[in-house]
């Protein structure tokens, strides 16, 4: 059964939940006895993410959680996972911070790409810096240093990865709460070394349009359009000039 569950959909779900989910333990009384309940809670502002969480819970975990909207402006969903602990252990899934990919995910490019897409949808962002020579930075923020994740990104995407410790203060207007603490920003650039991996394995799995469109536009302008212009220059007087018959470069 565990082998059948190892797919891109579950890999994405794991990354998403490690970024935005939390395990909570409760105790309650019933018929003069004390029972313990373990739940996995998922709470985000984007409804599409909580719908994806719910979908995988139904298909893979045989749970049918309901989605609720909270007055603070978030969508939430939770499942009882006490009887699923053995399954999570066999699938090498942990829910502690920072995100750590299961071993079976880092052995397969499709799985690792889907996993990273989940982490990016949950706790990542895509930003373009520098106007003249733009760079596309993928950043993942966690409460603890992401050493394991950084090593696997460096190995599989063949690129440099940096982790920066930051001190941040956030004010939540609706809840009127001020939160301060330490966070770690993992960053890597979209480059000629890894854009093929990102285009084929990460980009198709990102569900938030504001993130996927920015990444797609950068890759299209930086490599796809440039490659097309080199191989098929504009026509001049009905004749294609300067056509390069050499094989295209593989990045």
- Asked if residue 8 belongs to a domain, the reply is yes
Maximum C-alpha span of the chain:
90
Residues 6+ apart with CB under 8 A from 63: 57, 79, 80
Type and span of the H or E element at 180 = strand 177-189
Closest by CA position to 123, among listed 149, 84, 159: 149
Query: Could you check whether the bond before residue 98 is cis, i.e. omega within 30 degrees of 0?
Result: yes
Residue ranges of the chain whose pLDDT lies below 70: 1-3, 170-179, 225-251
pLDDT digits (tens, 9 = 90+) for 143-195: 999 999 999 999 999 999 999 999 877 665 555 666 678 899 999 999 999 99
**How far is 241 from 228, CA to CA, in rounded Å?**
14
Q: What is the pTM of this model?
A: 0.84
| Interacting residues of 159 by C-beta distance below 8 A, sequence separation 6+ | 153, 188, 189, 191, 193, 194
Computed over every residue of the chain, the mean pLDDT equals 86
Asked if residue 160 is part of any domain, the answer here is: yes
Give the CATH number, domain containing residue 221. Answer: 3.10.28.10
- Cα dihedral sign for 41, 43, 47, 52? negative
The C-alpha R_g of the chain, in whole angstroms, comes to 22
* pLDDT tens per residue, range 182-210: 899 999 999 999 999 999 999 999 999 99
Residue 219 lies in a domain: yes
- Residue 235 resides in a domain: no
pLDDT at 238: 42
Give Cα 210 distance to the centre of its chain: 13
In the DSSP assignment, the letter for residue 245 is -
In a domain, 109, yes or no: yes
- Counting the structural domains of the chain, the total is 1
Kindly state whether residue 179 falls inside one of the protein's structural domains: yes
In a domain, 247, yes or no: no
Residue 245 lies in a domain: no
Full domain range(s) for residue 52: 2-226
């Amino acid at each position: 059964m565990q082998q059948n569950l190892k797919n891109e959909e579950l890999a994405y779900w794991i990354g998403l939940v490690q970024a935005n989910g939390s395990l909570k333990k409760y105790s309650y009384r019933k018929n003069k006895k004390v029972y313990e309940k373990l739940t996995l809670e998922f709470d985000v502002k984007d409804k599409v993410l909580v719908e994806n969480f719910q979908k995988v819970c139904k298909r893979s975990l045989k749970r049918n959680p309901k989605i609720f909207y909270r007055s603070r402006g978030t969508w939430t969903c939770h499942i009882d996972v006490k009887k699923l602990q053995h399954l999570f252990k066999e699938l090498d899934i942990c829910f502690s911070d920072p995100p750590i990919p299961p071993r079976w995910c880092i052995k397969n490019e499709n799985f690792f790409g889907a996993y990273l897409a989940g982490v990016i949808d949950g706790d990542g962002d895509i930003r373009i810096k520098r106007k003249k020579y733009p760079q596309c930075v993928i950043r993942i923020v966690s409460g603890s240093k992401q050493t394991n994740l950084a090593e696997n990104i460096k190995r599989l995407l063949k690129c440099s990865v940096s982790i920066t410790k930051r001190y941040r203060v956030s004010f939540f207007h609706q809840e009127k709460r001020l939160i301060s603490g330490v966070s770690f920003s993992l960053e890597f650039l979209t480059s000629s070394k890894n854009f093929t991996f990102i285009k084929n394995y990460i980009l198709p799995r990102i569900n938030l349009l504001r993130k996927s469109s920015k990444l797609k536009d950068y890759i299209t302008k930086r490599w796809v359009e440039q490659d097309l212009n080199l191989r098929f220059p504009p026509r001049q007087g009905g004749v294609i000039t300067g056509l390069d018959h050499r094989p295209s470069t593989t990045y």
